[in-house]
């Protein structure tokens, strides 16, 4: 294991240069420098609530107004923030080299926005992420599952919360809460990409939440290596061949830019 520095960057770049396929797994830390708060650590509280208390179907059933208040605020944040140097470096690499699959646990849409920028008039699809925890930029009916474009949410009372145009059920953000299944097709594609990759680049995740945290193990199983970029130690650090300690917005461009 290597704890970074210039030598760590050089070793990581060598792994990336010779990899036929690369899978990237990102978490909240990749968006921190865009101004999107992370879940755990000093930023990890919203009011007095932990993510484990709000991001559940039980919390939504008990107090949908409270849960929507949190998501409405976060939706506004996601829409007003911009992709940072890490999102842009990943997207440019994925578009230019077509040997990278980006898997994100984030729901903020910033990888997709960077993909569109990187592609210019071209095709952004090689840089569009597999969003394993859904998107805060879509709504879904909690009764009939119909997906819809996001509406402006007035979370001041239960009566003003958005409702489904088909069945009048309460709308919810189209994200994956604790105890809910991830979309099998999205997770399957992420697993397959990890199992075909020579390098799994893990950026800004505490790697505590499963099954997303298991994705790097698919690369390890087939003999590939994990390279981690994080400001702190994570649950995955012991498995990393190269551990680059620092901010994603500074390190990722140094890893991927020509």
Site residues for Zn ion per CB under 5 A: 141, 143-144, 146, 164, 166-167, 169
Query: Which element (helix H / strand E) includes 125?
Result: none
Nearer to ligand BJW, 65 or 99 (CB): 65
Interface with ligand BJW, residue 181, by CB under 6 A: yes
Tokens 């105890």, residue?
A: 179
Q: Which residues, numbered 54-93, are part of the site for ligand BJW (CB under 6 A)? A: 55
Q: Which of 34, 38, 101, 219 binds ligand BJW (CB under 6 A)?
A: 38
CB of 43: closest distance to ligand BJW in angstroms? 7
Min CB(87)–ligand BJW separation in Å:
12
DSSP assignment of 161-214 equals: S-B-TTT-PBEEEEEPPTTSPPPHHHHHHHHHHHHT-SEEEEES----STTGGG
Q: Which does 40 bind (CB under 5 to 8 A by kind): Zn ion, ligand BJW, none?
A: ligand BJW
- Decide: is 49 part of the binding site for ligand BJW (CB under 6 A): no
Counting other chains too, the contacts that 39-43 makes at CB distance below 8 Å and 24 or more residues apart are 39/206, 40/206, 40/208, 41/206, 41/232
CA distance linking residue 233 with residue 239, whole number of Å: 11
> How many angstroms separate the CA atoms of 59 and 164, rounded?
20
What is the rounded distance in angstroms from the CA atom of residue 199 to the CA atom of residue 173?
A: 33
Q: Which of 25, 32, 194, 236 touches ligand BJW (CB under 6 A)?
A: 32
Position with the least CB separation from ligand BJW: 29
133 in catalytic set = yes
**Distance between CA atoms of residues 26 and 104, nearest Å:** 5
Which residue in the set 15, 40, 87, 172 belongs to the binding site for ligand BJW (CB under 6 A)?
40
Q: Does 133 bind ligand BJW (CB under 6 A)?
A: yes
> Which residues of this protein are in contact with ligand BJW, per CB under 6 A?
27-29, 32-33, 38-41, 44, 51, 55, 105, 107, 133, 175-181, 204-206, 208-211, 229-232, 234, 247-248
């Amino acid at each position: 294991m290597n704890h970074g520095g210039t030598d760590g960057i050089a070793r990581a770049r060598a792994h990336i240069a010779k990899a036929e396929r690369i899978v990237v797994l990102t978490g909240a830390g990749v968006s921190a420098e865009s101004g999107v708060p992370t879940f755990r650590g000093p930023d990890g509280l919203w009011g007095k609530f932990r993510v484990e208390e709000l991001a559940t179907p039980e919390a939504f059933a008990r107090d949908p107004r409270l849960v929507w208040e949190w998501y409405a605020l976060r939706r506004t944040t996601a829409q007003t923030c911009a992709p940072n140097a890490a999102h842009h470096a990943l997207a440019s690499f994925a578009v230019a080299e077509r040997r990278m699959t980006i898997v994100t646990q984030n729901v903020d849409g910033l990888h997709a926005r960077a993909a569109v920028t990187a592609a210019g008039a071209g095709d952004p699809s090689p840089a569009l992420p597999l969003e394993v925890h859904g998107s805060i930029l879509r709504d879904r009916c909690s009764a009939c599952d119909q997906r819809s474009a996001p509406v402006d949410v007035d979370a001041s009372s239960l009566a003003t919360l958005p409702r489904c145009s088909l069945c009048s059920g309460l709308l919810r953000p189209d994200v994956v809460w604790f105890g809910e299944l991830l979309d099998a097709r999205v997770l399957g594609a992420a697993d397959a990409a990890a199992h075909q990759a020579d390098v799994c680049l893990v950026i800004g995740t505490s790697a505590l939440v499963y099954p997303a945290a298991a994705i790097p193990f698919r690369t390890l199983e087939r003999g590939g290596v994990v390279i981690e970029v994080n400001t702190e130690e994570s649950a995955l650090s012991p498995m990393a061949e190269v551990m680059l300690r620092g901010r994603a917005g500074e390190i990722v461009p140094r890893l991927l830019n020509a």
